[in-house]
Structure 1
Amino acid sequence: MNKFVVLRDGYGETQLIVKEKDTETQSFLEVLPFESIIEVKGTVLSRPKGMENKNQKTGEIEVSVEKFRVVNKARDNLPFNIREFQKAKEPLRMQYRYLDLRFPIMQQNLRLRSKLLMKMREFLINNHFIDVETPTLFKATPGGAQEFIVPTQFPGQFYSLVQSPQQFKQMLMAGAIDRYFQIARCYRDEGVRSDRQPEFTQLDIELSFTNVDSVIKLIEDLLQYSWPQSFDPIPMRFQKMSYEEAMENYGSDKPDVRFDYKVKNCTDLFKINTKLASEENFGAYFISFPKEHANLSKQIKDSLQTSGNKYERAKLIQSKIVSTSEWLNKIGKLLTTQLASRFVEEYKIQDESVLFLAYGNKDEVLSLLGKVRLEYVNFLENLGMTIRKKGNHFLWVVDFPLFELSENSNKLQCVHHPFTAPHPDDMSDLETNPLKVRSLAYDLVMNGQEIGGGSIRIHDPALQKRILEKLNIETDSMQHILDMLGSGCPPHGGIALGLDRFLSVLLNTASIRDVIAFPKNFDGRDPLSGAPSSISEEEQRLYHIKSVLSPKKK
């Protein structure tokens, strides 16, 4: 009887047929471990009629084996098999990533990543951008994310791994490299999440004599050019929304616009209750879902309440409106019966709907309802309901605040970074009311995930110095930037696209680890090698991490 074998490589699978008379090869295949490397020579044949496999690219042919050779026999009992059913848990697959990479989905993801990056390079080079490599060892940057520190042989002195090439690309602008790009490695010593890694890759772009609209158009054209043909096309121009509008309607600065349920402002009704509205910056908002999307089970109600408990200055009320008269009694504890009736009538609250209401500090209320909006829709979709529109939906969020208050110190901190230019229309508020100042910053959002961000930069050294002072950043630590701007640096701006997150959203993967060849795990460790690891005492002395006391003379 003929024996059939499936040969797999990085491009797909092909069926081999070993003839009945070739008993030696058949016997050998019966004991040959899976994942062994083999070499086959044979004749390509059409499969018999009716035996084609339409689900396989090579399903219409098979190879009749004439010569068979084992190049490298795999050991018995590998940690896991390359099969989709009963797939090994992620920690084990991460530990043996070289095996995990053999899964067809990982092959597809990494090959698409390579093609996409090639098209992006091609577009930028054709548009006169210059690919420039910048250092990863740099000076610690104040006012940003936590950085990785690198010991040196200079006592008490350290490098840091760059969070991004931000300062270098601005210096390139001063150096007349007027159109720069780089596929850059970046590092942040922050907690690992499904959409975040301690080392990541971004497409970094900067150009001189530009403005917000020009950068936006450049990225839209770039994505059009590099967009994979196997995906549905995207619009030529993307939707644009102000930060204020995004927060007011979606409770998020990266709103998911694939579904329409928005946050609604009911502050005016609640302000009449002066006891409630005594909170400074008071706000009251709600979201309602109609009968067909009403399923407030105990599971989701408890989950949402847990989310709500994390907000100290916002109170969440969630309710299934069996009847509006019943709900009037509940809301009547907060409002008068007359005001509660106005609420039901004014906002057309329907029987059998679900309503989430939050009141208190406006910023916390909006943030809370933004999370409730997403978590509830995720719950409904896990039940099999279709809420979100299909396809990839892009959105530009613009006019971010320049400053915000730090939660810990209540001092000003930058929303993006300290080199972001203030909006020219708001310069009069810079000294008297800095929290009202908008910035010339913009984020690109895809399906509710931020995949890129940038800004027009400050090119005036006097303004840059004033911004650093308002942020309590010592200007001495940024003197190289001030000197650079004072050398005749042109106006400039740019953007960075987070390639790992972009690809993860595009391919709809559970984690960005699925689009990175060798990612770190949730603990920020390398599962393959066990890094970070300890170093010898000799190396510790070399890098002045550990000092050795000389023995005392007797």
Structure 2
Amino acid sequence: MFSCWLSRLCRGLSTPTGRVTHLIQGSLSRRLMLSSQRRIPELSSFVARTNTCGELRSSHLGQEVTLCGWIQYRRQNIFLVLRDFHGLVQVVIPQDESAASVKKILCEAPMESVVQVSGTVISRPPGQENPKMPTGEIEIKVKSAQLLNTCKKLPFEIKDFVKKTEALRLQYRYLDLRSFQMQYNLRLRSRMVMKMREYLCNLHGFVDIETPTLFKRTPGGAKEFVIPSREPGKFYCLPQSPQQFKQLLMVGGLDRYFQVARCYRDEGSRPDRQPEFTQIDIEMSFVDQIGIRSLIEGLLQYSWPSDKDPVVVPFPSMTFAEALASYGTDKPDTRFGMKIVDISDVFRNTKVGFLQDALSKPQGTVKAICISEGTKYLKRKDIESLRKLAADHFNQSFSLSQEVLPVFPKANRNWNSPVAKSIMEEQRSELIRLMEIQEDGVVLLTAGEHRKACSVLGKLRLECADLLEARGLVLRDPALFSFLWVVDFPLFLPKEENPGELESAHHPFTAPHPSDIHLLHTEPKQVRSQHYDLVLNGNEIGGGSIRIHDAELQRYILATLLKEDVKLLSHLLQALDFGAPPHGGIALGLDRLICLVTGAPSIRDVIAFPKSFRGHDLMSNAPDSLPPEELKPYHIQVSWPADSEAEKSSLNQPYHPES
């Protein structure tokens, strides 16, 4: 049949289309000749699997099945565990001589080789069931097998209990993705995002809109990644978030927008931060803060994994001032106590020098936290470590008015605390009453300006919790998810490098609190914002605000208070002048949220291909250098200082991952 078809093609050479058929014939002839000269893998016998490894149960007994997967484990050349994305199943390797070829394939193939097996689903012998495996009641009696691809020696075993450095995991990320934990994390992430889309689009009328990732430099916020263009001296920037675009969509009358948005910040990585990350980005018109908070509570409740304790709404709220005063941070972990207590009145008439000095200054205060059972679980070296941590928190040694000292109101020990002997009996009694100190309690005391004193004790509070839990005392239930709204943030903060100037506490598009607008012209540092953060177990997982929709107010804040170049935002200011509706929104950090839900130690464990701690891709060695001829169209020339020749030459050497 093929030869007849080919001869008809040859006869077609005499027709007007003969040149086309001649090309086809030549191509076919060359392919036939090449196939006869080299060995092409035989895939014609490949049959698609009938089932996945994780779906077979007792209800499938007696069925003939074909499975494909990786060899995870082999025991005594009798049993083999086959794995795919859906689960594990045990395979019985045939031992009779008639199936010698099948046994050879399954017994000689290295671990993690890809195989196809066909056989019958049978029950495991009585007493050999594995209740820990969903497929633990059955096994596959193999009749035929095919080696689809062999595996070379691995850099590490594909087992969750085998410890691997993060650098090695990132260098061979495609292997790390085979682990159960990584696949569980990514599957859960996918399910939650799907449910969020369903909730927003199908139940609340949101529109999923993509926004550009090539934008321009904008004032305020984090550093942006710069992208060269072919126009001399002009650059794009990758957006830190779709903030301006989603506000422009509200001006455009879209009313309810959301996006699973990629965002970029040219900052150092941390366990909970990446140069590129993902947000669930939301904006709404004609809405107030309560409406947005209610929407997000419903969104999380609807998308929450079924294998976790259900989300209880509404979430409690706390002002920024309350959070700082009680927990020393704007993202408090409310799963345990150990709150900060103001004990200034206890020591108002103290003779202790540094306490007197602190209380004599404006905003001077004395603060303390009580570590329950501290004398039982903490040692002298722990207390000294906490004091050193407090000093390092401000990157300098404390002055006397910023010292952190241990006090043991009920215990018969001082640990050389210089303040203990100077505390009068009535002060000690009042301290015990005010802080509800039990027999083994230890008080960490500091004095100084309110915000600094609270901040350092907030840091020590978390460190104490880590120390106590390391010694066996459970303070934070890992199965508990404690949500909290933090509201009434300051609109502005003094710049660190120049305290006389202001910067936005969050971003310059946040609207001031209605009752504080009159203070913009007189006391801008006292103005509260309509910003709100969502906190989960001491981690910020979302932040948003009601936006400024009045162009004149936006110009005043940018130009007069923040001293920014308004020309950079002329497009937004012009849009606000064209009938912008009142609007507001929020962005949830998807990576951080999934990290907390799964209990992963880092957001890199819930991202398929993350960057390293230093922002590198250890798998592909990005970022990488480019030759001068490829940079020329972008009008960029890389210059190296005279003492950087070694570094320059190292770019052409093999890359060594971070340890």
TM range (shorter): over 0.9
Distance 1:402 1:58, change over 3 A: same
- Distance in 2 between the 1:293 and 1:183 partners? 49
- Residue correspondences, number: 547
Q: Is the Cα contact below 8 Å between 1:293 and 1:380 reproduced in 2?
A: no
* Partner in structure 1 of residue 405 of structure 2: 317
Whether the aligned pair in 1 keeps the contact of 2:113 and 2:149 (CA below 8 Å) is yes
Aligned partner of residue 387 in structure 2, secondary structure:
helix
Distance in 2, matches of 1:198 and 1:38, equals 39
Return the letter of the residue paired with 1:19.
P
CA distance in structure 2 between the aligned counterparts of 1:33 and 1:144, rounded to whole angstroms: 52
**Structure 1 position 285 matched with structure 2 position 376:** no
What is the alpha-carbon distance in structure 1 between the residues aligned to residue 421 and residue 230 of structure 2?
Answer: 68
1:3 matched to 2:94? The reply is no
Q: 1:454 Cα shift?
A: 0.1
C-alpha distance in 2 between matches for 1:345 and 1:122: 53
Deviations 1:137-171 (A, max 9, x none): 11111111011111111111111110000000000
Residue 400 in 1 paired to residue 482 in 2?
Answer: no
Alpha-carbon contact 1:270-1:276 (below 8 Å) kept: no
**Equivalent residue for 1:365?**
453
Which deviates more, 35-44 or 318-327?
A: 318-327
1:543 aligns to 2:619 (yes or no): no
Q: Counterparts of 2:376 and 2:526 in 1: how far apart (Å)?
A: 39
Q: Structure 1 residues 498-507 or 536-545, which shifts more?
A: 536-545
1:265 maps to amino acid:
D
Residue 320 (structure 1) shift: 4.6
1:510 is paired with a residue whose SS is: coil
Q: For 2:169, which of 68, 75, 93 is the aligned residue?
A: 93
The whole-number CA distance in structure 1 between the counterparts of 2:556 and 2:423 is 47
C-alpha distance 268-58 of structure 1, shift in aligned 2 (>3 A): same
Q: Is the contact made by 2:490 and 2:528 (CA closer than 8 Å) also made in structure 1?
A: yes
Mapped contact 2:359–2:366 kept (Cα < 8 A): no
Contact kept in structure 2, 1:173 and 1:490, CA below 8 Å: yes
Deviation of 1:333 after TM superposition, in Å, equals 6.7
* CA displacement at 1:432 relative to structure 2: 1.3
Measure how far apart 1:326 and its partner are: 5.3
Aligned residue in 2 for 1:150: 227
Residue pairs, 1:244-263, within 5 angstroms: 244-263=321-340
TM-score by structure 1 length? 0.94
Asked if residue 385 in structure 1 is aligned to residue 473 in structure 2, the reply is yes
Amino acid at match of 2:461: R
1:551 is matched with which residue?
none
Q: Secondary structure of 1:306's match?
A: helix
How many percent of aligned residue pairs carry the same amino acid? 48
Q: What's 2:654 paired with?
A: none
Matched, 1:457 2:534: no
Corresponding residue for residue 358 of structure 2: 276
1:72 aligns with 2:149: yes
2-structure distance, mates of 1:67, 1:260: 62
More moved, 525-534 vs 326-335: 326-335
Q: Is the 8 A contact 2:102 2:143 kept in 1?
A: no
Cα–Cα, structure 1 residues 285 and 8, in superposed 2: closer, same or farther, change >3 Å? same
1:318 deviates by 2.5
Matched, 1:38 2:128: no
Q: 1:124 aligns with which of 190, 200, 209?
A: 200
Q: Give the partner amino acid of 1:532.
A: P
| Structure 1 residue 521: Cα displacement | 0.5
CA distance in 2, matches of 1:294, 1:360: 29
Match for 1:472 among 555, 558, 563? 563
Taking the aligned partners of 1:460 and 1:239, their CA distance within structure 2 comes to 31
Q: How far apart are residue 428 of structure 1 and its match?
A: 1.9
Partner Cα distance (1:456, 1:542) in 2: 43
Which residue does the alignment assign to 1:306? 388
Which SS does the other structure have where 1:122 is aligned?
Answer: helix
Kept in 1: contact 2:375–2:440 (CA 8 A): no
Is 346-355 or 510-519 further displaced after alignment? 346-355
What amino acid is aligned across from residue 485 of structure 2 in structure 1? W
The Cα of 1:48 is off from its aligned counterpart by 1.1
Q: 1:329 to 1:336 in 2, by over 3 A?
A: farther
Amino acid at match of 1:487: F
Check the 8 A contact 2:227/2:237 in 1, yes or no: yes
Give deviations 1:490-527, integer Å, cap 9, x for gaps: 00000000000000011111100110000000111001
Secondary structure (helix, strand or coil) at the match of 1:371 reads helix
Report the residue type matching 1:207 in the other structure.
M
In structure 1, the gaps of 5 or more residues are 549-554
Q: Quote how far apart the aligned CAs of 1:85 are.
A: 3.3
Contact 1:137 1:161 in 2 (8 A): yes
Per-residue deviation at 1:319? 4.1
- CA distance in 2 between counterparts of 1:547 and 1:407 reads 32
Deviations 1:29-61 (A, max 9, x none): 332111111111111111111110000010001
Question: Does residue 196 in structure 1 map to residue 284 in structure 2?
Answer: no
Letter of the 2:390 counterpart: G
Of residues 280, 284, 290, the one that matches 1:207 is 284
Worse overlay, 396-405 or 84-93 = 84-93
Question: What amino acid does structure 1 have at the position aligned with 2:377?
Answer: N
1:277 is displaced (CA, Å) by: 2.3
1:438 aligns with 2:528: yes
1:23, CA displacement in angstroms? 2.6
Asked if the contact 2:358–2:365 (Cα under 8 Å) also holds between the matched residues in 1, the reply is no
Instruction: Name 1:531's counterpart in structure 2.
Output: 622
CA distance in 2 between partners of 1:58 and 1:200 (Å): 37
Question: Of the candidates 189, 205, 216, which is equivalent to residue 113 of structure 1?
Answer: 189
Q: Within the alignment, does 1:166 sit opposite 2:243 as a pair?
A: yes
How far apart are residue 349 of structure 1 and its match? Answer: 3.9
Aligned match of 2:444:
356
Alpha-carbon separation, structure 1, partners of 2:92 and 2:391 = 63
Q: Which amino acid aligns with 1:266?
A: I
Q: 1:428 maps to what in 2?
A: 518
What are the superposed Cα offsets for residues 413-464 of structure 1, whole Å, 9 maximum, x if unpaired?
1111000000001112112111111111100011111000000000011111
- CA–CA distance in 2 between the matches of 1:545 and 1:319? 61
Q: Which runs of 5+ in 2 are unaligned?
A: 1-75, 351-355, 640-659
Structure 1 residues 346 and 518, CA, compared in 2 at 3 Å: closer, same or farther? closer
2:521 match: secondary structure: coil
Give me the whole-angstrom Cα distance separating, in 1, the residues matched to 2:372 and 2:124: 54
Encode CA deviations 1:308-351: one digit per residue, 9 max, x unaligned.
11335732112455637959984367766764554345445444
Structure 1 residues 191 and 321 mapped into 2: Cα distance closer, same or farther (>3 Å)? farther
In structure 1, the residue matched to 2:25 is none
- Please tell me whether Structure 1 or Structure 2 has the larger radius of gyration of its CA atoms: 2
SS in 2 for 1:232: coil
Is the 8 Å Cα contact of residues 358 and 449 (structure 2) preserved in structure 1? no
Aligned-pair CA distance for 1:70: 0.8
Secondary structure class of the residue paired with 1:428: helix
2-structure distance, mates of 1:328, 1:430: 50
Structure-2 separation of matches of 1:272 and 1:327: 24
Shift in CA distance, 264/324, structure 1 to aligned 2, threshold 3 Å:
farther
CA separation in 2, counterparts of 1:320 and 1:159? 59
Higher relative contact order (Cα pairs below 8 Å, separated by 6+ residues): 1
